[in-house]
Amino acid sequence: MSIKLKVASFYLKKKLKKQKRILQTHNFNTAKYAGILFNSPNDKSFEVIKDFMSFLSQKNIKVISLGYIASKKIPENFLMRKGFNFYCNKDFNWFYKPKNEIIDQFIEQPFDILFDLSLKDYFTTNYVCNLSKASFKIGKQSENSSHDLVFDINKNQSVEYLIEQIKYYLNIINNS
């Protein structure tokens, strides 16, 4: 691990110790506000995420999305996507601390559910997920994240499969 990442991890752990988050389990019936975090989208996964956002909207869940592009600049074709916010490497300082309001606002949102649809393990997406004020965090199994509901997708590492698992198990969870 580089010195840069070690210092960033140290500061993240320090922030996490101070963080107070109220854990509350939600399903598609109890959630009213959701965040979707994802990284390294391609056209296929992007369409699947867009369909998932529509699915959540049909369930009367307000949705905000934030996608990480692992480069210095966000490609033009992503800037024109309605309803999606993106960030890239230039939106973080040398110690991976966000210097973009969109990232800070996303972290501070009191989501009922945060869907972490990130397939790759980047420090920047882990940072956002870990510090998120969301009541219930859902995502794939990862050693660096703080998900409350975890899915093992090693046999099929695709956004489609992860969303399929999320839909199946959130329909089973009953919060009566």
The partner residues of 118 in beta bridges, in order of sequence, read: none
State how far the Cα of 49 lies from the Cα of 72, in Å rounded to an integer.
23
Q: For each of the chain's 176 residues, which pLDDT tens digit applies?
A: 588 778 878 887 887 778 788 889 999 999 999 999 999 777 788 889 999 999 999 999 999 999 999 888 888 877 777 778 999 999 988 878 888 999 999 999 999 999 999 999 888 999 999 999 999 999 998 877 789 999 988 889 999 999 999 999 999 987 65
Residue tagged 């040398």 (tokens): 94
Determine contact, residues 119/141, Cβ cutoff 8 Å.
Answer: no
CA distance 93 to 100: 10
DSSP per position, 6-38: HHHHHHHHHHHHH---------TTT--EEEEEE
- Of 57, 77, 61, the C-alpha closest to 69 is 77
CA atoms in the 13 A half-sphere facing the CB of 159: 24
Instruction: Report the predicted TM-score, pTM, of the whole model to 2 decimal places.
Output: 0.91
Domains and CATH numbers, the chain: 27-171 (3.40.50)
